[in-house]
Chain A
Amino acid sequence: MRRETILNLAIPGILLATALIAYAMEEPYIITLATKAAILALAGVGLNIALGLGGLVSLGHAAFFGVGGYAMGILAFHAQNYMPIWGVLEGTKSMPIIWLVALIASALAALVIGALSLRTSGVYFIMITLAFGQMLFYFAISWPTYGGEDGMSIYLRNDFPGVNTLVPLNFFLICFAVLTVVLVLADRLGKSAFGLALQATRQNVARVEAVGLAPYRLRLVAFTISGAVTGLAGALFADLNRFVSPSMLSWHMSGEIMILIILGGIARLSGPVAGAMLFIALEYVLEDLSHYWHVYLGAILLGVVLFARGGVVGLILGREVAHD
């Protein structure tokens, strides 16, 4: 077996083991941290489709994370207040329905933002995705129905058929299962015809055009899928916290999702998982150490970018090529 394949199994395995050991040792806080890592990893896997495969440096993925979060928040808000949406649609507390809505809503947001942003490239694209993210951020702040700046709380975690989601380990397992499914799908996506064409657009647009494929459409589809996956992560994140606020849409969120991909290793399947675990672990350890832990996070990030491109997975695998 290739070493990358082993890592792709081992890294999520470590996450699962962490949660199970924490359960055995009755450390619910660690389970919550593991859940957070699984969810952030999922968001990272989403961004990595655009960033790692497509080379699209989106600094606006918090928009989709937030849209997913608000999809959950709005549906659950209406359900818990027994107040139909626009007087007709019932809210819901059922996770599968919420996930579906989050996927569709964030995919639509990504489709619209992508359609405009992908008319440009390079540094324009970075600035524009950042700006559109900020647009949704300010919209959420100024729209009072769902809490405005203060956000809104959901009193009880949403339901999943046949599972008591209030038990921390159960909710972790749900998130971990979603992450696993998405990882498998992302792996197949990377190796598919679409994945090949998309990776070619990252490396040489002129070639893609010369073989008769349309880069804009490839990128737009990739951006939409990417946004949808990140939106699903947003719905789970909101469920974990039972709280949604504009901070989910802030550009720091976009930056953090990008950071964890880089910490883990860009364009590697398990990179975002490794990165999310490392990010959460750093947060946990450094926050204890110092109130100003972001200084250390910044220094580590700077070090990785300047001296250790390829992140954790890259360090372990050395120069092994990322593709089959």
Chain B
Amino acid sequence: MSAALLIEQLLNGLQFGVMLFLMAAGLTLIFGVMGLINLAHGSLYMIGAFAAAGVAGWTGSFWLALMGALMAAAMIGALVEMVVIRRLYDRDHLDQVLATFALILIFSEGTRFFFGSLPLYLDTPDLLSGPTTLPGGIEYSKYRLFIIAVGLAVGGGLFWLISRTRIGIQIRAGEADREMIAALGVDIRKLYTMVFALGAALAGLAGAMIGPIQSVEVGMGEPVLILAFVVIVIGGIGSIKGAFIGALLVGLTDTLGRIMLPQLFGMFMDASSATTVGASLASMSIYILMAGILLFKPSGLFGGQS
């Protein structure tokens, strides 16, 4: 494999990892603060993508579409929190799983009802279309670089928000002790709605940004949701840092595995069975990574007690 191809794949893995981080950060924040497992997080990703496709179709502007997606996901997130989710905080995990699974059914069919079953496509904005030349003469997609940059910026922003701001202090306090911070006069209901909406906005942003790379369709959020779970299991629940490291690990493992495993098996197998075995193993590689980490650290790389 040439160095150029390897770097390209590394960047693809990074871009994928950054997308996963946007999903996983919201999930892990919501779990850490409210103790809620939210299967419908993938639906918010889907809503972001559809909102972006809708706004882009209407205005023709990618940037407005991105804004629209953020706002739509945050608003629907806040609404869902107020109507359904807040009834689930004191319930056991089983009820949370079932109720948020029910939300998936409702959101998926609802989206199908409004947008139809055909996939939609988002155009890459002119500013970001085509490749750019990286130092060392490697050509790489501008748009994917844009995703990586946005993801890293959002990650930095989250770290700053959690560790430096007043809201962040409240969020961390909420993780530690619900009653205590309520006693200190923080409006815990409003805080929870805000955290949920923030998580939803991150998912919506991820969904909107993936639009120009993948088709926008019902059910697109679920594979990403499950990968985000793998990320959280690897990184440790409630840890933004863990989500970041886990997301990059999963993104790189998945992307590089798909390229390298078939080549690896090609060294001692005929080409077609190498492709078969390699592809099958690559599809399982991140789960094997997860199982391996579980063996040594059952509560994830940066997790406390499970």
Residues of A within 8 A of B (CB): 51, 57, 59, 116, 119-124, 126-128, 130-132, 134-135, 138-139, 141-144, 251, 255, 258-259, 262, 266, 292-295, 297-299, 301-302, 305-306, 309
Contact = CB atoms under 8 A, between A and B. Distances in A.
Interface string B211-236: 00000000000110010011011000
A135 B284 contact: yes
A116 B110 CA distance: 37
**Residue of A121, A126, A299 with highest tally of chain B CB at under 10 A:** A126
A138 B254 CA distance: 12
A298 B106 contact: yes
B225 to A, nearest CB: 9
Contacts of B109: 292-295, 298
Contacts of A144: 276
Contacts of B87: 306
Contacts of A123: 31, 37, 93, 237, 306
B306 A127 contact: no
B280 to A, nearest CB: 5
Interface string B82-113: 00100100010111011101111110111011
A295 B294 CA distance: 37
A141 B283 contact: yes
Contacts of A138: 283-284
B226 A57 contact: no
A302 B97 CA distance: 11
Given A128-B294, A301-B105, A57 B283 contact: no
Nearest to A59: B97
A142 B279 contact: yes
Contacts of A121: 306
Given A131-B287, A138-B284, A262 B98 contact: yes
Give the interface SS of chain A, mostly helix, strand, loop or mixed.
helix
10 contacts: A116-B295, A119-B294, A126-B93, A127-B37, A128-B294, A135-B284, A139-B283, A295-B106, A305-B98, A305-B102
B284 A127 contact: no
Contact of B290 (A131, A141, A298, A302): A131
Interface in B249-306: 276, 279-280, 282-284, 287-288, 290-291, 294-295, 298-300, 306
A128 B283 CA distance: 16
Interface of B: 31, 37, 84, 87, 91, 93-95, 97-99, 101-106, 108-110, 112-113, 222-223, 226, 229-230, 232-233, 237, 276, 279-280, 282-284, 287-288, 290-291, 294-295, 298-300, 306
A123 B113 CA distance: 32
A57 B300 CA distance: 19
Given A127-B232, A302-B84, A122 B105 contact: no
Contact of A131 (B102, B108, B229, B279): B229
Given A122-B306, A124-B237, A251-B226, A301 B287 contact: no
A128 B84 contact: no
B287 to A, nearest CB: 4
Contacts of A131: 226, 229-230, 233, 287, 290
Given A251-B226, A295-B105, A295-B113, A51 B306 contact: no
Given A119-B298, A135-B287, 6 more contacts: A123-B37, A142-B276, A255-B101, A292-B110, A302-B106, A305-B91
A311 to B, nearest CB: 11
A128 B233 contact: yes
B84 A120 contact: no
Given A139-B284, A292-B112, A298-B109, A122 B232 contact: no
B45 to A, nearest CB: 16
Contacts of B287: 131-132, 134-135
Contacts of A141: 283
A128 B222 CA distance: 15
A122 B233 contact: no
Q: Ordered nearest first, which 7 A-B pairs have the shortest CB separation? A: A298-B105, A135-B287, A138-B283, A298-B106, A301-B102, A127-B229, A302-B102
A71 B267 CA distance: 32
A294 to B, nearest CB: 4
Given A122-B306, A127-B232, A131-B230, A259 B294 contact: no
A116 B290 CA distance: 10
A305 B233 contact: no
B108 A127 contact: no
Contacts of A135: 283-284, 287-288
Contacts of A295: 105-106, 109-110, 113
Contacts of B106: 294-295, 298-299, 302
A120 B110 contact: no
B306 A124 contact: yes
A50 B222 CA distance: 24
B233 to A, nearest CB: 5
Nearest to B291: A116
Contact of B98 (A122, A130, A139, A301): A301
Contacts of B284: 135, 138-139
A262 B290 CA distance: 30
